[in-house]
Structure 1
Amino acid sequence: MDEIEDLRSFVEIARSRSLSRAAEAMGISKSMVSRRLTRLEAGFGARLFDRTTRGVRPTEAGDELITRAERILAELEEAREVVAARSGTVLGTLRLAAPLAYGVHALTPLLGELAAANPGLEIEVDFDDRFVDLIESRFDAVIRIGTLPDSSFIARRLAPVRAHCVASPDYLARRGRPAHPRDLAGHDCLRYLTRGGSEWEFVSAGRRVGFRPRGRLASTSGDAILRWAIAGYGIALLPSFMGGDAIAGKRLERVLPDFPSPESALWIMRPPGGYVPAKVRVLTDFLVARLGGG
């Protein structure tokens, strides 16, 4: 298995362009990565990387090896999964990306259950609201909310998502309760920061009504907006998986219930291809079963 581990280290160095970053990604020492590379170069009789002030870059021989090494490792992983599947076991590391707020509020307990039910499965989750490139970031799957862009990735709908306007009882007692989306112009709105700006949308008589919220408090964190709303600093538009507990506990109240936001959806996406790794299939089936797939 030394040759396999040497190939793993080689591929990680090629991806990260650094022995230090490769060692960090693999959870081993830099000296171990260096020894594996030296052993691999000796075995092939060729230098595989050139050292630069910024890290390393593959030589011509290294470039020739990269694709083949990735294919060897992928086929080995597939073989392990096929053998394990015969005994009903799921093996390997599942690398998943998910939105921060949804991950913290809803996905975390589900992944804990999935890990408990599959002792051979390791789960690594990156909770972040940024757009994730599945291929370059080497994630096995990604969870997304909203309208999906056109792509070759395979997507499965997991559940509907709808946002609600909410505010604390204290805020509504002080500032009054808006009766129509246009009334929000006279209120402090807690804004979610996005690159293109944020517009709140409502459905009225079958038509969409847009409103550009204004307010002194804004954040890229849904949790910050939730806390501000509970503290009485303004009106927030929050997905139901975030505000539901606070509404049930009467710390927040629904605002504009007759003007719902357009329904969105929760999706799981994976790279294109006919072969679906067992770990991705198990994750997808589990989430569809728990969330309804609607």
Structure 2
Amino acid sequence: MELLNDMALFVEVAQTRSFRGAAAATGVPNSTLSRRISALEKAIGLRLLHRTTRKVELTEAGQVYYERCKRIVDEARIAHEQLGEMLVQPSGVLRASLPVDFAVIYMAPLIAEFAARYPGITFDFDLTPRRVDLVAEPFDVAIRIGELTDSNLIARLLARFSVQLYASPGYLERAGEPSHPTDLARHQCIGFPKAGKWALYRGEETVEVEVGGRFYVNSVGMFRRLATLDLGVILLAEEVAAEEVAAGRLRRILPDWQTRPTPVYALTETRLLPAKTQRFIEFLKERLGTKK
């Protein structure tokens, strides 16, 4: 990088034929310019400039070096300017790993909105449930729900979702509606494998209840669907349940009780992000931010 900077300074001196003019153009003091060019000549082993008290002229070697260096410096400047343009209007392929059910049920409309806002970006989404390796695999960002294990990844909190209890009207008509969390022990509760106990909170009051049922699945979309088919009680983020509640297929129960808010994170391998990734994270935080 220091060599490229010295080449750029040499090009400026060669173009202005003056250390004073180059100093004015670059903001680098005259004495520093002279010292840096002298060091460059020493490193190359050839004199690049004829210096007199009145003017600066290129030597034969200096002319050859100038022609080569100017192209390199111009290319570097163009590359820098193009990156600046990307910040104004991001473009390129955004590769993201997303939670399967959350992406399909909740994020799809947000992604459509983001795509309309930034037409220069194309998308490559991985919706498998596996935990992708952001260091070894070519992903720009991973969206993750729930508390994180310790890692060297950069985690940005996007939102915290409120998780509530829901059941279908048909199930409640058949099994009765619980009036207290302890009533859940006698209900069919649908959840993730090894869910064991559900911890529910009302203000400062906490109740842990041992739950059970016939269905344990590792898919939010699946247990939401099973609940609409009158098969039991579920814990679900309000945002993910909203469509079913609006359609009357699910109803919130024990409205004074809820679980701890569930965090949503954007994970990246580095803090130095291309514009497409930075904008995507900012957009999700903006749209999900009211859910903190």
Q: TM-score of the superposition, structure 2-length normalised?
A: 0.67
The 2-side partners of 1:121 and 1:206 are apart by 46
- Residue of structure 2 equivalent to 1:284: 281
Tell me the secondary structure at the aligned position of residue 203 of structure 1. Answer: strand
Measured in 1, the distance between the counterparts of 2:242 and 2:127 equals 21
The equivalences for 1:111-122 within 5 A come to 111-122=111-122
Q: Superposed, which structure 2 residues align to 1:146-165 within 5 Å?
A: 146-165=146-165
Shift of 1:117: 2.1
Whether contact under 8 Å (2:226, 2:232) holds in the other structure is: yes
Distance of aligned partners of 1:263 and 1:82 in 2 relative to their CA distance in 1, 3 Å threshold: farther
Question: Deviation at 1:270?
Answer: 0.9
Contact 2:196 2:212 in 1 (8 A): no
1:269 match? 267
Assess if the C-alpha contact under 8 Å between 1:81 and 1:90 holds in 2: no
Q: Which residue of 1 aligns with 2:246?
A: 248
The alignment partner of 1:164 has SS state of: strand
How far apart, CA to CA, are the structure 2 residues paired with 1:158 and 1:80?
A: 32
Whether contact under 8 Å (1:204, 1:259) holds in the other structure is: yes
In structure 2, C-alpha distance between the alignment counterparts of 1:261 and 1:115, rounded to whole Å: 33
Q: Decide whether aligned partners of structure 1 residues 257 and 268 sit closer, same or farther in structure 2, where only a CA change above 3 A counts.
A: same
How far is the alpha carbon of 1:85 from its aligned partner?
3.3
Q: Which residue of 2 aligns with 1:86?
A: 85
5+ residue gaps in structure 2? 1-74
Q: Percent identity?
A: 33
- Give per-residue Cα distances to partners, 1:216-236, cap 9 Å, x unaligned: 122112111111111111111
Q: Which residue of 1 aligns with 2:228?
A: 230
| Bigger Rg, structure 1 or 2 | 2
Whole-Å Cα distance in 2 between the matches of residues 169 and 162 of structure 1? 22
- SS of aligned partner of 1:182: helix
**After the TM superposition, which residues 177-196 of structure 1 pair with which residues of structure 2 at under 5 Å, given as runs?**
177-193=177-193
Report the Cα offset of residue 197 of structure 1.
Answer: 4.2
C-alpha distance in 1 between matches for 2:213 and 2:171 = 14
Write the distance in 2 (CA, Å) between the matches of 1:209 and 1:80. Answer: 59
- What one-letter code is carried by the residue in structure 2 that aligns with 1:256? L
Q: Per-residue CA shift, 1:15-36, capped at 9, x if unaligned?
A: xxxxxxxxxxxxxxxxxxxxxx
SS across alignment from 2:129: coil
Q: How many angstroms does 1:178 deviate by?
A: 1.1
**CA 1:108–1:201 in 2, change beyond 3 Å: closer, same or farther?**
same
How do 1:66-85 residues align onto structure 2 when only pairs under 5 Å count? 83-85=82-84
Q: How many residues align?
A: 214
Change (3 A) 1:213 1:85: farther
Bigger mean CA deviation after superposition, 241-250 or 276-285? 241-250
Give RMSD over aligned pairs.
2.3
For residues 96 and 215 of structure 2, the distance between their equivalents in structure 1, rounded to whole angstroms, comes to 31
